[in-house]
Amino acid sequence: MVTADSVDPADTAADTASVRTRRGTPVVPGVAHAPVLRVATEVDPAAVAALRASAPTEEEPALAAYDAAAAAVADGYVARAARVEGAAAQVLTASAGLARDRGLRSGVRKQLRGGADLLGAVESTVDTFVALFEQQGGLMAERVADLRDIERRLVARLAGAPEPGVVLPGTPVVLVAADLAPSDTAGLDPAVVVGLVTERGGATSHTAIIARQLGIPCVVGVVGALELPDGEPVLVDGAAGTVELAPDADEARARVRVDAELRAATAAWTGPAATRDGVRVKLLANVADPASAQAATSEPVEGVGLFRTELSFLDRPTEPTVAEQADLYAEVLAPYADRGQHVVVRTLDAGSDKPIAFATHEGEENPALGVRGLRLAAHNPALLAHQLDAVAQAAERTGTEAWVMAPMVATRDEAAAFAEQVHARGLKAGAMVEVPAVAVLAHRVLEVVDFLSIGTNDLTQYTMAADRLASDLAHLTDPWQPAVLHLVAITAAAGQQAGKPVGVCGEAAADPLLACALVGMGITSLSMAPSAVRAVGAMLARVTADECHQVAEAVLAASDPTAARAAARAVLAAAEGAPQEG
Ligand code: PEP
Ligand code: MG
C-alpha cells in the first residue's frame, strides 16, 4: 500500500477525488492510455438476499447443495484453465483444487452441525481460512484473493445467480478493481485490456503473475484506485507504478508511442548485453530447477546468476543424499557446459519464507531474523558439506563452471569459513549481500571471497526493516529506496576496488531503468527471471556508460524512490534529446 500523491498544486490530500496521480507497486512495465473500466466482482445482491432468507440448514441436503456448487465452480476453473497457458493455467488449476478442498468442505459441515445455515456456513468457513492464510503470511496471504473468488462463485451458484466476472467492451480499457482473481485475469486479451490497476495485492499476487505473463502494464496496491471515475481516461505507467487521471492527451499518446518503441526494441534484442558505447554487462538467469535452467537457454542469457537450490526441496521431509543432489545439480549445470557459461549455485536458503522440513529451525519467534541460510551450517555443518560435495561432483561430471555462494551472510568470518570449504573443492566462492552489515563492509568480505551477489529483495527488507511480502509496506520494500541504493553503490565500489565481480540477483536487476543506475555504480552482472532479460538488454543498448554514471549519481542524490525514478528518467530523456554518438 502506498501513498496517493498529488502532482497538481491545486489538489489537496483531503480532496481524494481530485488527486491526479495515484501510486502503487509497479508490477509489469509498460505505458497504457485508455478509459477506466471499474470491475465489480460482487454477486447479484438480490439473489444473495433471497438465499440468505431461505438457505438450507439440514446437514444432508445442505451438504449436497454445497458439493454440487463446489464441483461446478471447480469445473469452471478447469474449463478456463484449458483455454489459457503457462502461469495462468497453473493458477486456475490451483483454484480448482482449492474449490474442491476437503478442509473447506469439512469446515462447512462443522458449521452446519453447529446450527448455521448453508450461506452462513460457507461464509464463516471461508473467513476462517482467510484468517489462517493471512496469519501464515507470505505467499499464503497472497492466495486470499483466490479464496474470496471461490466464495463469490460458490455463493452465486447456491443463489442461482450468474458467477461474477469481467464483461469487456470491444475497445481498449484500463481495468480497475479492488483485487482481481485469477479467473478474472486469466485469458484477458491484451489488445482490449491495455492496463490493470488494483487497490489491493502485492508484487506476487495472482493479478501480478498473470499480468506479467500477458505483458499487460500493471500497478497493484494503489490506494484509492476505486475512486477513479468509470469511463475517464487514465495513463498507467507500470514501471513507475503511477496512474494519472485525465492526462494531457498529446503527452499521453507520445509516452505510449515511446513505450511501444521500447517494446519493439526489446522484442528484437538478441544480446549479448552492452551499453551503446560497448561496455559489456553480463545478463544472467535466475533458475529454480532443471526445467527452468533448460528453458532459460532459449533467452539471450550468458549463464545462471542464481540457482535457488532450496526450491527443489520444499516438500522433502528428509535431507536428500549427496548422490541425489549431485544428479539434480548436474541437470541444472548441463545445459551451460557447451555454451562455456557459468552457473552460480546458491547453497540452501532454508528458513523464514522458505521452510524446509529437514533444515529449518522450528518455533522461532522471528524467523526472518533467525537461523536461516548460511546460519544453518553452524548448527548442522554436514548439511552444507554434503551440498558442496554434490555441487563439486555435478561440476566435475558436466564440465560446467560452478560458482557457489551462500545466502544470509552477515560477517567476514562467516564468509571466510564458507569460502574455505568451497575453495577446498576447487570451486569459486561468493557471498550474497542481503544483510546491510555485509554491504557496509563489502571491502573486507571481498578479501575472502571471489565475488559478491547482491540480493536486493532481502537487502531491502533488512535495510528498511519491512517484511518483503507485506503488501502494505510496498513503499518501503522498494529497491529504489535511497538507503538501499547507497548500500548497493558501496558494494559495487568495493568490487571495483578489489577487481572482483559484484552482481545483482534480486528483483531490482529486472528493472530496466534501475539497471542503468546499477551499471553506473559499477555492478558487473545482472541476474533475473529470463523473461526480463530482453527488456534490460534493450535498455542498456540505448545508453552509454557515462549516461549510466549520471543516472547512478542522480538516483543516489534523490530523497525518495519517486524522486529517484524521476531523476533517472530525466537524465535519460536529456541524453536521448542530445545529439548521440556511437
Ligand atoms: C534476494 O534476497 O534478493 C534474493 C535473490 O534471494 P531470495 O529472493 O531467494 O531471498
Ligand atoms: Mg534472499
88/451: higher pLDDT: 451
C-alpha cell at 248: 494531457
Residue 94 has pLDDT above 50, yes or no: yes
Residue from 308, 344, 518 whose mutation best tests the ligand 1 pocket (most atoms within 8 A of CB) = 308
Question: What confidence tier does 90 reach under pLDDT thresholds 50, 70, 90?
Answer: confident
Report the alpha-carbon distance of residue 205 to residue 174 in Å, rounded: 18
Does any ligand 1 atom lie closer than 6 A to the CB of residue 456?
yes
pLDDT of residue 578: 60
Look up 218 and say whether it is catalytic. Answer: no
Ligand 1 atom with minimal separation from the 507 CA: 3
Burial of 467: CB neighbours in 10 Å, binned 0-12, 13-18, 19+ = middle
Assess whether the C-beta atom of 344 lies below 6 angstroms from ligand 1: no
Distance between Cα 172 and ligand 2 center (Å): 39
Residue nearest to atom 10 of ligand 1 (CA): 458
Determine which residue's CA is closest to atom 6 belonging to ligand 1: 455
pLDDT in tens, 53-67: 988 889 999 999 999
Q: Give the per-residue pLDDT at 81.
A: 83
Nearest CA to ligand 1 atom 9: 308
**Binding site membership of 259 for ligand 1 (Cβ less than 6 Å):** no
Amino acid at 399: G
Ligand 1 centre to CA of 456 (Å) is: 7
Looking at mean pLDDT, say which of 8-22, 303-317, 480-494 comes out highest. 480-494
pLDDT at 17: 43
The answer to whether the CB of 461 is under 6 A from ligand 1 is: no
For the residues 305-325, what does the mean pLDDT come to?
94
The atom number, within ligand 1, closest to the CA of 456 reads 3
In whole angstroms, give the CA distance from residue 278 to residue 290: 33
The reported pLDDT for the residue numbered 286 is 94
Better-scored residue on pLDDT, 157 or 179: 157
Given pLDDT bands bounded at 50, 70 and 90, which one contains residue 213?
confident
Q: Using CA positions, which residue lies closest to atom 8 of ligand 1?
A: 457
Overall pTM surpassing 0.85 (yes/no): no
pLDDT at position 166? 73
Q: What is the pLDDT of residues 258-303, one digit of tens each?
A: 888 888 999 899 999 999 999 999 999 999 999 999 999 999 999 9
Please confirm, yes or no, whether 361 is among the known catalytic residues: no
Is the distance from CB of 49 to CB of 257 less than 8 angstroms?
A: no
Which ligand places an atom closest to the C-alpha of 353?
A: 1
Question: In this model, does residue 13 exceed pLDDT 50?
Answer: no
Regarding the beta carbon of 346 and ligand 1, being less than 6 Å apart is answered: no
Within 13 Å, how many C-alpha atoms sit on residue 91's CB side? 31
Q: Is the CB of 457 under 6 A from ligand 1?
A: yes
Q: What confidence score (pLDDT) does residue 206 get? A: 66
Q: Are 283 and 303 in contact (CB under 8 A)?
A: no
Protein residue whose Cα sits closest to atom 3 of ligand 1 = 455
Selection from 392, 390, 415 nearest residue 403 by Cα = 392
Residue 353 pLDDT level (bands cut at 50, 70, 90): confident
User: How far does the centroid of ligand 1 lie from the alpha carbon of residue 434, in Å?
Assistant: 8
Is residue 339 a contact partner of residue 285, using CB atoms and an 8 Å limit?
no
Distance CA 285, CA 343 (A): 9
Q: Would the CB of 310 count as within 6 Å of ligand 1?
A: no
Q: Which residues contact 24 (CB under 8 A, 6 or more apart)?
A: 2, 197, 198, 219, 220, 221, 222, 223, 225, 241, 242, 243, 474
Residue from 33, 218, 342, 505 carrying the catalytic annotation? 505
Verify whether ligand 1 is closer than 6 Å to residue 123 (CB atom): no
**Percentage with pLDDT > 70 across the chain:** 94
Q: How many Å lie between the centroid of ligand 1 and the Cα of residue 458?
A: 6
Average per-residue pLDDT for the chain = 89
pLDDT digits (tens, 9 = 90+) for 495-550: 999 999 999 999 899 999 999 999 999 999 999 989 889 999 999 999 999 999 99
Look at 197-201, 306-310, 329-333, 380-384 and tell me which has the smallest mean pLDDT. Answer: 197-201
